[in-house]
């Protein structure tokens, strides 16, 4: 049975001397060796905090923050609860070029052209397609960019909303009621978009009709950075094997319920591949640690070599940071009703834009 991680309890007045400033967790220099970026952090909550507010403030999705903090109530985590921020990532097993979307982790990675700067990666949480409307995997590219798009509502969605007493117009103009947000990147995959949202609580969840949505504060700089022609790779990798400083790590996420692949076989082959490349003997892999990570995925990298620390010991050495005094948004806006609305057909967000695209 999982036990909620707890550091030594401290009153908030005691924390500043020990707590550090948070790392910048949405951009990292690429490592010269290995494929892991970032650092696990821990922040102590106050009674008024929710995981939704903490997720958005630290540029995390609600699913990944909930996964990292099993046993913690996402609405009432409690006073002075140690909240694990999964701000360390194994990079997807894909070319480090353009945009890479890992729908299993609900996270986007963007590799800008390095120019005169060191190679780096930018990463943000995303909302992806729900069951029955899964975001497709494969290779694509950005074919168009637009701001303040209109949403042309499909007839089926208008009829559905009308039946529910919530009629929609044929066209939703730009503005706060537009589920596409203010920025749209159109993919060469017909009908699919990367865009903002007017319901940010759904970022980091399976809520769309297939398109990919970002927080408003994340889509804007991404929109400005990418150009038409930027390659986009969409992968579905819930199990990510990483290496750093001579150790092998596993970042495990709960696979989608409609994923029928033999993921354990893939993982075993991937672990053996990495171990062989690093000249690590097979017997050095602690398969019990691998099994534990799969049975209770936490969504951040854990070491899987014999003699390496277990998850709870790993978290005790995490970077403890100061709780923000000002959040990205008013916590009172993050209500359960908003999330419930995201999990309904939302009807719209990803059904269609001007060319009848999904949202």
What is the pairing mode between strands 239-244 and 247-252?
A: antiparallel
> CB neighbours of 212 closer than 8 A, spacing ≥ 6?
101, 108, 126, 127, 128, 135, 192, 193, 194, 195
* Helix locations, 184-252, DSSP H: 216-225
> CB neighbours of 319 closer than 8 A, spacing ≥ 6?
20, 23, 39, 40, 41, 42
Is residue 124 part of the annotated active site? The answer reads no
124, 209, 211, 253: which is the annotated catalytic residue?
211
195, 209, 253, 356: which is the annotated catalytic residue?
195
* Residue 26 CB neighbours (<10 A): 19
109-113 contacts at long range (C-beta below 8 A, 24 or more positions apart): 110/222, 110/225, 110/226, 111/30, 112/225
- Token reading at 168: 């929609």
Is residue 356 part of the annotated active site? The answer reads no
CA distance 272 to 210: 34
Q: 242 phi and psi, to 5 degrees?
A: -125, 170
Active site residues: 195, 211
């Amino acid at each position: 049975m999982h036990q909620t991680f707890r550091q030594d309890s401290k009153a908030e007045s005691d924390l500043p001397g020990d707590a550090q400033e948070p790392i910048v967790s949405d951009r990292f220099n690429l490592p010269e060796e290995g494929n892991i970026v970032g650092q696990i952090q821990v922040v102590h909550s106050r009674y008024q905090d929710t995981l939704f507010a903490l997720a958005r403030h630290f540029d995390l999705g609600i699913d990944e923050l909930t996964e990292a903090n099993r046993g913690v109530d996402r609405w009432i985590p409690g006073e002075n609860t140690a909240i694990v921020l999964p701000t360390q990532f194994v990079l997807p097993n894909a070319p480090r070029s353009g945009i890479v979307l890992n729908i299993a982790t609900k996270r986007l990675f963007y590799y800008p052209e390095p120019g005169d700067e060191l190679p780096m990666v930018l990463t943000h949480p995303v909302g992806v397609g729900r069951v029955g409307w899964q975001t497709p995997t494969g290779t694509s590219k950005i074919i168009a960019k637009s701001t303040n798009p209109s949403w042309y509502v499909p007839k089926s969605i208008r009829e559905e909303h009308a039946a529910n007493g919530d009629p929609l117009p044929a066209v939703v103009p730009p503005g706060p009621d537009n589920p596409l947000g203010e920025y749209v990147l159109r993919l060469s995959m017909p009908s699919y978009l990367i865009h903002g949202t007017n319901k940010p609580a759904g970022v980091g969840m399976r809520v769309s009709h297939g398109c990919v949505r970002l927080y408003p504060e994340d889509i804007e700089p991404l929109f400005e950075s990418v150009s038409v022609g930027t390659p986009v790779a969409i992968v579905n990798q819930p199990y990510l094997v990483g290496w750093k400083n001579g150790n092998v790590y596993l970042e495990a996420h709960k696979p989608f319920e409609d994923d029928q692949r033999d993921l354990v076989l893939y993982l075993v082959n991937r672990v053996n591949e990495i171990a062989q490349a690093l000249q690590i003997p097979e017997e050095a892999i602690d398969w019990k640690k691998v099994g534990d990570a799969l049975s209770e995925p936490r969504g951040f990298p854990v070491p899987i070599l014999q003699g390496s620390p277990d998850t709870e010991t790993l978290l005790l050495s995490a970077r403890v940071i100061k709780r923000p005094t000002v959040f990205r948004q008013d916590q009172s806006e993050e209500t359960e009703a908003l999330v419930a609305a995201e999990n309904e057909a939302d009807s719209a967000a990803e059904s269609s834009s001007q060319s009848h695209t999904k949202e």
